Chains A and B, each alone.
Chain A
Amino acid sequence: MNRRLAVSLSGVGLILLLALAAPILPIHDPLQMAIGQRLAPPSETYWLGQDEFGRDVLARLIWGARASLFVAAVSAGVALCIGTALGVLGGFMRGFVEVLTMRSMDVVLCFPPILLALLIVTLLGPGIGTLILVLSVLFLPGFVRVAYAGVLSVRSNEYVEAQRVLGASRGRIMLRTILPNIAGPLLVQLSLAVAAAIVLESGLSFLGLGVVPPAPSWGVMIRAARAVMDRAPLLLLFPCIALTLTIFAMNALCDALRDSFDPHARTPRARARRVADLLAPGLLPPPRTAQAGEAVLDVRGLTVEIETPGGSIQPVQDVSVSVAAGETLAIVGESGSGKSLTGLAAMGLLPSAARVAGGAVLFEGTDLARAEEATLRALRGGPMAMIFQDPMSSLNPVHRVGRQIAEAIRAHQTASWGEAHRQAVMLLAKVGIPDAARRARSFPYELSGGMQQRVMIAMAVANGPRLLIADEPTTALDVTIQAQVLQLLADLKRESGLAMIFITHSLPVVAEIADRVAVMYAGQIVEEGRVVDVFSRPLHPYTEALIASAPAEDGPPPTGIPGTVPPPNALPSGCRFAPRCGYRIPACEAAPPALMTPEPGRATRCIRWAER
């Protein structure tokens, strides 16, 4: 149990205990009047003073808690039982029963809650019985919905199907399987209902339509104290504080319960960039100005670190790659190999939990890993651009695509919106979108996946970049569309002579588009070289396995790689690929192998490269 849950639970428990113990506590009778001591201030016998009839305020507060909590607990309990039954029934029976229960709950939700309460009070007259009825009706839809949603998600699960096939009766399945599974959300709903019931009960009592005086209730007490607030303001404060504290404790309990049942609700803390990283440029190679024929992007020893609750991990470790103008470098690897993070780090777009822990990213001589955000912003979308994997989620859903391209143009050029929009239409035509002027006025959801990716490409090349990083640009697309998009990228590169980094997990795509390839595994580069060389003679078992796992038109059927990529918090101490490697020898697991250069322009991290 976490600390928040424990604290809030004990807070609520304390209030509950006090209310339950009211009859046996050594306190005064809450109804006993002493007219002579009206509005007496706190004294030794009456700790919190006496009210307008001379009754003991402390005793009335404690007995008031009893009234509030009794009404809240009973009404929430009734709503829980009936609501869960209806919701489970509706979710399990489907058909007519489902429509009836769910729609009738929608109707209850049509009324503002307090109105429905007042309507019922008019008919039945005020009192505790009416209150309980009113509150139960009000909370019913919440429970029905939670139970219904829970049943819908559970009933499609395989184990429920399995039980049905095994011949269990419906009632048995409901009781044994579904109820325990929806208990968590129902408990959260119950605590919400209790908190809301306390608020509504006190409100109605405050209006004189709930608990009937002289019975003590916080709402009744606040109502009475209002009349004498000029003479005894404390009388008003005490029940207000008691009510607020109780609701505060209930709310805290609700939040804690919700968090403990839904771990996804918790989010890791953002971390600030370490000052030391900004102040230690002396440890790095001095920045140089770019010269002709030199690398456009030169990544040196890049390490990316992410703080996790279980300690810091390094999903990218000591990665060095470079790409020259007119050249395409492919970075290949499985999911989790660190290839996408490498690309994002190069753009200065790492998610907030991640940071560059070491190394340098030199773009035409400027180190982006330590550049000011303003410097990065001037480069991003201008001289260096990026295309992302999923075009649908990467385009802003609420803006027209033409406007999104125009925005990129206006971020780097002084152009009016009209001028930028004209350029955007030209770009759309350039990336092969028919009827570009009309398409520019479309929203992203109105375009197909291929079209969306063309829009993303148009956006990326809008300002004539010298470096284009494409992060799995074809993964989310159909095979035929993939080919078209690859062709488009190849054409763009040929026309403008830009440097391209192509991040992918698909070797056929690498063979088609890239000049050089870097293979990544578990955050490290394991092999690098010209595409023809690497494909014809891989120098690392992982590359060899990747090639073997890619389907070929004519040749042996593809073979998979046994095992999975180790998670970054449980890396092998030696060679990271050793556990999955067929060529493993004891030396592989003894120490992490360094990146070796068997011949100019090639690199491998396998100590047995010479034996192949």
Chain B
Amino acid sequence: MSWFLKRIGLSILLVWIVASIVFLAIHFVPGDPAELLLSTSGFAPDPVAVEELRRRLGLDQPVLVQYVNDFQRLLSGDLGRSMKDDSPIIDAIARRLPRTLELIVAAGLMGILIGVPAGTYAAIRRGGLFDRVASALSALGLAVPVFVMGTLIVLLFAQTLRWVPAGGYVAFDRDPWQHLTMLAMPALTIGLHLAPVVFRVTRAAVLDVTSRDYVRTARAKGVGPPRVLVHHVVRNALMPVVTVVGLQLGGLLGGTVLVEFVFNWPGLSGLLVESVSSRDYPEVVAIVLTISILFVGLNLVIDLLYGALDPRVRRR
């Protein structure tokens, strides 16, 4: 249990560090931050507007005061207000975050459902036709950037075959079928991006575990091949797979940016791109902070899952 608490404490520490860095980032940049945010392609911004922004962001106060104020605000659940329309940012995040999470979960499931069985089968039939074809496909899949995959999928399914709309979003409660159709393409894009990674890790892990002594022991006991595969090989091979899938999903928390952009999926990442383009600094900070906290939280979940999968981890 103390292992559990230690992991949680460490995660809270990490969140604090991340929040501090996001806060301090604007002060690291040489020059006046308010001027910097308002300047576009070399033109000097309007001094009145700079003064106004400085006051609104609290940049006129000493850095330490800003830091303390910002943290007090954050702890009370206030993520600040958008520079565009002065609306509370937390509302926008609450509206868009579930859509991004939905996309990630759907994509993760696709990646695992394709990658783990294919990787396992390729490993136990190593050097066979399936192994060679799947390995070649995974090398190709790894070389296609996710936005290229997305664009090509739009070109094929929406533009050429006209099976699905090219992108967009419909709320689930308004039209469940339409919602799922529109989810399918971005989820497939990310899923196809994940599958080669999952495939490779699974294949390597299964190959590694197959030659372990305890698998030989299981065979020496006269246990049948299906049970050896599931309870001894795959069960132990899952640990690296869990780590890699977790890392990948964590990367996706920000990495859906490109796919949401391609498919016009109004998730959190899309909001981030908008606010980066319009240089809405408070909104960027709030979103980056939210995603980083989720990222740290996800890593915590993976660690705990790891502890559940491998009893030895819990002792450390």
CB–CB B257/A443 < 8 A: no
CB–CB A233/B159 < 8 A: yes
Select which of B155, B212, B258, B279 is within 8 A of A206 by beta carbon: B258
Select which of B144, B145, B258 is within 8 A of A207 by beta carbon: B258
* Known A-B contacts A380-B219, A397-B214; A112 and B311 likewise in contact (beta carbons under 8 Å): no
Select which of B143, B225, B311 is within 8 A of A244 by beta carbon: B143
CB–CB B148/A243 < 8 A: yes
| Chain A contacts for B231, CB-based, 8 A | 396, 399, 407
CB–CB A380/B148 < 8 A: no
Q: A113 to chain B: closest CB distance in Å?
A: 7
CB–CB A408/B310 < 8 A: no
Q: Is A379 located at the chain interface by the 8 A CB criterion?
A: yes
Select which of B29, B145, B223, B315 is within 8 A of A123 by beta carbon: B29
Q: Please, how many angstroms separate the alpha-carbon atoms of A443 and B309 in the complex?
A: 12
19 further contact pairs, Cβ within 8 A, besides A123-B26, A203-B145, A381-B223:
A111-B18, A111-B292, A112-B255, A112-B292, A124-B36, A206-B261, A208-B277, A229-B151, A349-B220, A351-B211, A373-B225, A380-B219, A385-B221, A394-B214, A395-B214, A408-B222, A411-B223, A443-B311, A459-B217
Q: Which of B256-285 contact A (CB under 8 A)?
A: 257-258, 261-262, 272-273, 275-277, 279, 281, 284
Q: A390 to chain B: closest CB distance in Å?
A: 6
Q: A561 to chain B: closest CB distance in Å?
A: 29
Which B-chain residue is minimally distant from A202 (CB atoms)? B145
Q: Is A153 located at the chain interface by the 8 A CB criterion?
A: no
CB–CB A251/B221 < 8 A: no
Chain A interface bracket (under 10, 10 to 19, 20 to 34, 35 or more): 35 or more
Q: Please, how many angstroms separate the alpha-carbon atoms of A551 and B258 in the complex?
A: 71
CB–CB A411/B292 < 8 A: no
| Chain A contacts for B312, CB-based, 8 A | 397, 443, 445
Which A-chain residue is minimally distant from B312 (CB atoms)? A445
CB–CB A252/B139 < 8 A: yes
CB–CB A236/B151 < 8 A: yes
Q: Mark B287-316, 1 if CB is under 8 A from A, else 0.
A: 010011001100000000000011110010
Interface majority SS (helix, strand, loop, mixed), chain B:
helix
Q: Please, how many angstroms separate the alpha-carbon atoms of A459 and B218 in the complex?
A: 10
Q: Is A347 located at the chain interface by the 8 A CB criterion?
A: yes
| Chain B contacts for A245, CB-based, 8 A | 143
State the A residues within 8 Å of B (CB).
107, 110-115, 118-125, 199, 202-203, 206-209, 219, 222, 226, 229-230, 233, 236-237, 240, 243-245, 247-248, 251-252, 267, 269-270, 347, 349, 351, 373, 377-382, 385-386, 388, 390, 393-399, 407-408, 411-412, 443, 445, 456, 459
Q: B27 to chain A: closest CB distance in Å?
A: 10
Please tell me which stretch of B51-59, B73-81, B246-254 contacts chain A, meaning at least 4 of its Cβ atoms lie within 8 angstroms of it. B246-254
Q: Please, how many angstroms separate the alpha-carbon atoms of A113 and B296 in the complex?
A: 14
Select which of B235, B250, B257 is within 8 A of A398 by beta carbon: B235
Q: A80 to chain B: closest CB distance in Å?
A: 22
Q: B131 to chain A: closest CB distance in Å?
A: 10
Q: Which of B133-149 contact A (CB under 8 A)?
A: 139-140, 142-148
Which A-chain residue is minimally distant from B222 (CB atoms)? A381
* Known A-B contacts A203-B145, A233-B155; A407 and B223 likewise in contact (beta carbons under 8 Å): yes
A sample of 9 cross-chain residue pairs with beta-carbon separation below 8 angstroms, ordered by A number, consists of: A110-B295, A114-B255, A118-B257, A118-B273, A209-B277, A380-B220, A393-B214, A395-B217, A399-B231
CB–CB A408/B221 < 8 A: yes
Q: Which of B181-237 contact A (CB under 8 A)?
A: 207, 211-214, 216-225, 227, 231-232, 235-236
| Chain B contacts for A243, CB-based, 8 A | 145, 148
| Chain A contacts for B63, CB-based, 8 A | none
Select which of A251, A351, A379 is within 8 A of B222 by beta carbon: A379
Q: Is B21 located at the chain interface by the 8 A CB criterion?
A: yes
CB–CB B236/A396 < 8 A: yes
CB–CB A114/B221 < 8 A: no
Q: Is B88 located at the chain interface by the 8 A CB criterion?
A: no
| Chain A contacts for B65, CB-based, 8 A | none
Q: Please, how many angstroms separate the alpha-carbon atoms of A248 and B17 in the complex?
A: 37
| Chain B contacts for A459, CB-based, 8 A | 217, 221
Q: Is B113 located at the chain interface by the 8 A CB criterion?
A: no
Interface majority SS (helix, strand, loop, mixed), chain A:
helix
CB–CB A347/B220 < 8 A: yes
State the B residues within 8 Å of A (CB).
14, 17-18, 21-22, 25-26, 29, 33, 36-37, 39-41, 126-127, 139-140, 142-148, 151-152, 154-155, 159-160, 207, 211-214, 216-225, 227, 231-232, 235-236, 250-255, 257-258, 261-262, 272-273, 275-277, 279, 281, 284, 288, 291-292, 295-296, 309-312, 315
CB–CB B143/A269 < 8 A: no
Q: Please, how many angstroms separate the alpha-carbon atoms of A208 and B223 in the complex?
A: 58
| Chain A contacts for B220, CB-based, 8 A | 347, 349, 380-381, 385-386, 388
CB–CB A267/B148 < 8 A: no
Q: Please, how many angstroms separate the alpha-carbon atoms of A373 and B226 in the complex?
A: 13
* Known A-B contacts A244-B143, A395-B217, A398-B309; A382 and B222 likewise in contact (beta carbons under 8 Å): yes
CB–CB A240/B152 < 8 A: yes
| Chain B contacts for A445, CB-based, 8 A | 311-312, 315
Cβ-closest 3 pairs across A and B = A381-B222, A112-B254, A248-B143
* Known A-B contacts A119-B284, A382-B222; A247 and B258 likewise in contact (beta carbons under 8 Å): no
Which A-chain residue is minimally distant from B160 (CB atoms)? A233
CB–CB B25/A267 < 8 A: no
Q: A463 to chain B: closest CB distance in Å?
A: 8
Which B-chain residue is minimally distant from A376 (CB atoms)? B222
Which B-chain residue is minimally distant from A198 (CB atoms)? B145
Select which of A118, A226, A377, A456 is within 8 A of B272 by beta carbon: A118
| Chain A contacts for B160, CB-based, 8 A | 233
Q: Please, how many angstroms separate the alpha-carbon atoms of A429 and B140 in the complex?
A: 56
* Known A-B contacts A386-B220, A412-B222; A107 and B21 likewise in contact (beta carbons under 8 Å): yes
CB–CB A349/B145 < 8 A: no
For A112, A199, A203, A222, the residue with the greatest tally of chain B CB atoms inside 10 Å of its CB is A112
Select which of A118, A230, A269, A394 is within 8 A of B217 by beta carbon: A394
* Known A-B contacts A248-B140, A381-B220; A115 and B291 likewise in contact (beta carbons under 8 Å): yes
For B40, B160, B217, B236, the residue with the greatest tally of chain A CB atoms inside 10 Å of its CB is B217
| Chain A contacts for B255, CB-based, 8 A | 112-114
Q: Please, how many angstroms separate the alpha-carbon atoms of A435 and B14 in the complex?
A: 44
* Known A-B contacts A122-B276, A445-B311; A396 and B232 likewise in contact (beta carbons under 8 Å): yes
| Chain B contacts for A112, CB-based, 8 A | 250-255, 291-292, 295
CB–CB B213/A393 < 8 A: yes
Q: B168 to chain A: closest CB distance in Å?
A: 15
| Chain A contacts for B252, CB-based, 8 A | 112
* Known A-B contacts A222-B148, A267-B207, A395-B214; A122 and B279 likewise in contact (beta carbons under 8 Å): yes
| Chain A contacts for B41, CB-based, 8 A | 125
CB–CB A394/B216 < 8 A: yes
Q: Please, how many angstroms separate the alpha-carbon atoms of A323 and B164 in the complex?
A: 72
| Chain B contacts for A123, CB-based, 8 A | 25-26, 29, 33, 36-37, 281
Select which of A113, A219, A270 is within 8 A of B251 by beta carbon: A113
Q: B301 to chain A: closest CB distance in Å?
A: 15
Q: Please, how many angstroms separate the alpha-carbon atoms of A456 and B25 in the complex?
A: 58
Q: Please, how many angstroms separate the alpha-carbon atoms of A52 and B254 in the complex?
A: 31
Q: Please, how many angstroms separate the alpha-carbon atoms of A243 and B310 in the complex?
A: 40
Which A-chain residue is minimally distant from B147 (CB atoms)? A206
Q: A23 to chain B: closest CB distance in Å?
A: 26
Q: Please, how many angstroms separate the alpha-carbon atoms of A390 and B212 in the complex?
A: 11
CB–CB B311/A378 < 8 A: no
| Chain A contacts for B18, CB-based, 8 A | 107, 110-111
CB–CB A388/B216 < 8 A: yes
Which B-chain residue is minimally distant from A111 (CB atoms)? B292
